[in-house]
Amino acid sequence: MDSRNTEVLIIGGGVIGAAIAYYTAKSGMEVTVIDKGDIASGTSSRCDGNILAIDKEPGFDSQMSLESQKLVDQLSKELDLDFEYRAPGSILVCESEDEMIAAESWVERQKKAGLSFKMLDRNDIKQESPYFADDLLGGLECETDSTINPYLFTYSLFHGATKYGAKVMLRCEVEGMSRDSVTGLFKVNTPKGEIIAKKVVNAGGIWAPYIGNMLGLDIPIKPRKGHIIVASRDMPVGMRKVMEFGYLMSKFGKERTVDEETDKYGVALVFEPTESQNFLIGSSRQFVGFDTRVDMDVVNCIARRTIRFYPKIADFIIIRTYSGLRPWTPDHLPIVSPVEEIPNYYIAAGHEGDGISLAAITGKLMTELLQDQINTIIPTDPIRYSRFKNVSTIQT
């Protein structure tokens, strides 16, 4: 069997592994990416492509997204392969007075954090799309929000990374690993032979806990399933991304006033026009293990939610449905961090529903961490692995 050496080994060829590979290779490091399947064969090809600040907790979370948005804008100019980048902004719509009040405070807090947010009234909503239900009261807008095609983005980052010398090993699963206590080098076992790495980055998404477990780590990531409907656009419904305000509640696990099924499946309306003549409708949030089969009861519930916000979409055609698994963490923030107890071992996983948004900033930050830089592009404390140390039982 062969044995090969690399300075940095990235485990996982999803959008996160891709962004880390791009920025590390560009900075001159010698890097190898390994994936058990193809590029973007995990969650990164079973999701939407929104690069959003609108749905991020005001403060660190939303600023991290804003930084990532700026990086994606740069990437759209520096990468060779197109990834359908557009930056039309996005909106949230409210169906009750209570939501309008909550929306106002959301806008105030985001503005304080330095983001470009504003309230929308009934008229603005009507202007946005003639398809909206008449009873919607208003909403809010985030101007900087952008959108991309997630798997084309991943392919493009890999294309860029290999130009800077990154190596990619596909259909090759990491089956085990150990760290030599004398040399500090990692010995990584695969069906195609052994890889010796100075540094390892675990970018395994929902599988990060299995990979971490090979060295005795307990990484608190769980799959949180989401469904999407692909529909064909007979007429232009709207130009930019729309979500119901209740999406925030569902995302952060807060109470909502909706029917039992909508609540049970965590269904909240998300509308996303794509560059092809289709649009995507989401969303749902469930903890049901690693099952990626489409559940028609959930799709049914999403279709009903769509008609509540867009009654006139009722006659539009659904082409297909799919589902993916978000890498969830208990505090809804990713882990982008060294692991103190294992020198030269890093984790970049647990981005839940924000991995596309946060890939660029994650790649940039991980490159700085791998080079032991003190001044990093964003503060690292909120996303350190060690924040979970004293959490003995993690609740979902």
Partner 1 sequence: MRDHKTIICRCEEVSLEDLVRTAESYRCSSRELKLRTRAGMGQCGGRTCRALVDSITQKCTNDSTPHDIPLGYQAPIRPITFSIMGEKKDE
Binding site for partner 1 (CB under 8 A): 38-41, 45, 151-152, 155, 171, 229, 231-232, 276, 294, 296, 299-300, 303-304, 306-307, 313-322
Q: Distance between the two ends of the chain, CA-based, in angstroms?
A: 43
Contact of residue 294 among ligand FAD, partner 1, none (CB under 5-8 Å per partner type)? partner 1
Among 53, 177, 356, 366, binds ligand FAD (CB under 6 A): 356
- Pair 201, 311: CB distance under 8 Å: no
Candidate ranges 22-30, 134-142, 156-164, 202-210; the one touching ligand FAD (CB under 6 A): 202-210
**Interface pick for ligand FAD out of 168, 353, 361, 385 (rule CB under 6 A):** 353
Report what 204 binds from partner 1, ligand FAD, none; CB cut-off 5-8 Å by kind: ligand FAD
**Contacts to ligand FAD from residues 223-252, by CB under 6 A:** 226, 228
Q: Which is nearer to ligand FAD, 199 or 326 (CB)?
A: 326
Q: Give one DSSP letter per residue of 237-258, joined into a string.
A: --SSEEEETHHHHHHTT----S
Tokens 């006659």 -> residue: 315
Tell whether residue 24 is a contact of ligand FAD (CB under 6 A): no
Among 10, 33, 35, 237, contact with ligand FAD (rule: CB under 6 A): 35
Residue 94 interacts with, from partner 1, ligand FAD, none (CB under 5-8 Å by kind): none
Q: Which residue carries 């990154």 as its tokens?
A: 166
41 binds ligand FAD (CB under 6 A): yes
Cβ atoms of 217 and 211 closer than 8 Å: no
Give burial (CB, 10 Å; 0-12/13-18/19+) of 123.
Answer: exposed
Give the nearer residue to ligand FAD in terms of CB position, either 75 or 228. Answer: 228
Q: Are 250 and 260 in contact (CB under 8 A)?
A: no
Q: How far is the CB of 230 from partner 1 (least distance, A)?
A: 8
User: Judged by CB under 6 A, does residue 174 bind ligand FAD?
Assistant: yes
Least gap, CB of 307 to partner 1 (angstroms): 6
For partner 1, which is the closer residue by CB, 201 or 299? 299
CB of 109 to ligand FAD, least distance (A): 21
- Name the segment binding ligand FAD (CB under 6 A); options: 55-63, 88-96, 200-208, 230-238: 200-208
Distance CA 274, CA 129 (A): 16
Give yes or no for residue 37 binding ligand FAD (CB under 6 A).
yes
> Nearer to ligand FAD by C-beta: 14 or 58?
14
Smallest distance from partner 1 to CB 163, Å:
14
Token pair belonging to 186: 């990692």
Nearer to partner 1, 155 or 385 (CB): 155
Distance CA 20, CA 164 (A): 12
Q: How many residues does the chain have?
A: 396
If contact means CB under 5 to 8 A according to the sort of partner, which of ligand FAD, partner 1, none does residue 207 touch?
ligand FAD
232 contact choice in partner 1, ligand FAD, none (CB below 5 to 8 Å, kind-dependent): partner 1
Q: Does 13 bind ligand FAD (CB under 6 A)?
A: yes
Does 34 engage in binding with ligand FAD (CB under 6 A)? yes
Dist. CA 307–CA 340, nearest whole Å: 50
Contact by Cβ (8 Å): 158, 18: yes
Q: Are strands 278-282 and 50-51 parallel, antiparallel or unpaired?
A: unpaired
DSSP state, 293?
S
The CA distance from 302 to 270, in Å, is 9
For residue 316, the partner it binds in ligand FAD, partner 1, none, with Cβ less than 5 to 8 A by kind, is partner 1
Q: Which residues contact 90 (CB under 8 A, 6 or more apart)?
A: 50, 52, 54, 141, 142, 145, 240, 241, 242, 243
User: DSSP H helical segments within the chain, as ranges?
Assistant: 15-26, 60-78, 97-112, 122-128, 150-163, 208-213, 246-251, 260-264, 296-309, 355-370
CB of 234 to partner 1, least distance (A): 11
Rounded Cα gap, residues 265 and 287, in angstroms = 9
- Of the ranges 54-62, 129-137, 349-357, 381-389, which one interacts with ligand FAD (CB under 6 A)? 349-357
Site residues for ligand FAD per CB under 6 A? 11-17, 34-37, 41-44, 46-50, 173-174, 203-207, 211, 226, 228, 282, 324-327, 349, 351-357
